């Protein structure tokens, strides 16, 4: 595996690969890898002749009061994990490389970013789409793999790709969970033992939503009421949102008559976790 730090070298490598008729699979990450990341890499390994993983903690998707400086980082650990999975290139640029002092351009996707996390993190998705657009331009992938845990991010990137007629297939992969159901996340390392135990309620509440949906419940408010009851049974859980949205538009629904996502965000201490259940009618 080769580590590339500069945009110039990354673009030259990708150009030569494409000219040789090879397909590039790409997994964009912020590092501190866990099994969820590795599952995306394995899918990328399956889908492309060559696999590129980016490792870049993107400052523009963090608000001033969020955890950019404290976000977990361990480059050597991540490098070894990508090597073991069979990654061809680890693209790990510095912030100054991606955002030089005269950087002025951003990319904004409108409607699908306004609900859910977009309400409490108003600059987040503009930062995401800007950096993903830049990474797509630099890496030149044929296919990019994202996790469904960050479902609003996945939908937003897919919308951007459609709107801008970009030649990248964006693939979503199922959430990978711990043995007790907690969705794997780099931020889980922030949790104190008692918070980690209480965090199980996120998955438990989604399982209850799934049970109700499978039994034929179609009233969104009734399902959300039971979801919130489970979350509120844990005193350490502070709900940011619990909503049921159309799986494509991310607009709230009253009755469930098409594919939906049951989406949660909650604080445990200072740590904000998200999770979701994608429920398909057909």
Active site residues: 37
Q: Is 174 exposed, middle or buried (0-12, 13-18, 19+ CB in 10 A)?
A: exposed
Helix, strand, or coil here: 220?
Answer: helix
The pairing of strands 271-279 and 237-246 is unpaired
Q: Which residue has the tokens 């799934």?
A: 210
**How many other C-beta atoms can be found within 10 angstroms of the C-beta atom of residue 234?**
20
237-246 and 260-268 beta bridge pairing: antiparallel
Report how far apart, in Å, the C-alpha atoms of 244 and of each of 29, 43, 194, 253, 263 are.
27, 29, 28, 6, 6
- Tally the C-alpha atoms within 13 A of residue 69's C-alpha that lie toward its C-beta: 2
Q: Which residues contact 40 (CB under 8 A, 6 or more apart)?
A: 27, 29, 145, 146, 147, 173
């Amino acid at each position: 595996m080769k580590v590339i730090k500069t945009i110039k070298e990354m673009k030259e490598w990708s150009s030569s690969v494409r000219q040789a008729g090879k397909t590039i699979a790409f997994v964009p990450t912020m590092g501190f890898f866990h099994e969820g990341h590795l599952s995306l890499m394995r899918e990328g390994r399956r889908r492309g002749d060559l696999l590129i993983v980016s490792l870049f903690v993107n400052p523009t998707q963090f608000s001033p009061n969020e955890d950019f400086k404290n976000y977990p980082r361990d480059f050597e650990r991540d490098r070894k994990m990508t090597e073991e999975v069979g990654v061809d290139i680890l693209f790990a640029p510095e912030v100054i490389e991606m955002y030089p002092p005269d950087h002025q351009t951003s990319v904004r996707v409108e409607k699908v970013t306004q609900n859910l996390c977009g309400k409490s993190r108003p600059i987040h998705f503009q930062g995401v789409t800007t950096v993903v657009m830049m990474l797509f331009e630099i890496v030149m992938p044929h296919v990019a793999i994202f996790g469904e845990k960050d479902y609003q991010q996945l939908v937003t990137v897919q919308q951007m790709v459609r709107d801008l007629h970009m030649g990248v297939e964006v693939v979503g992969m199922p959430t990978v969970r711990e043995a007790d159901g907690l969705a794997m996340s780099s931020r889980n390392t922030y949790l104190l033992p008692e918070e980690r135990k209480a965090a199980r309620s996120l998955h438990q509440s989604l399982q209850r939503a799934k049970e109700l949906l499978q039994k034929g419940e179609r009233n969104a408010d009734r399902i959300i009421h039971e979801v919130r009851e489970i979350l509120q049974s844990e005193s350490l859980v502070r709900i940011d949102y619990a909503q049921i949205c159309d799986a494509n538009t991310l607009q709230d629904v009253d009755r469930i008559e098409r594919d939906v996502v049951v989406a949660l965000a909650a604080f445990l201490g200072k740590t904000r976790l998200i999770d979701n259940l994608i429920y398909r009618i057909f």
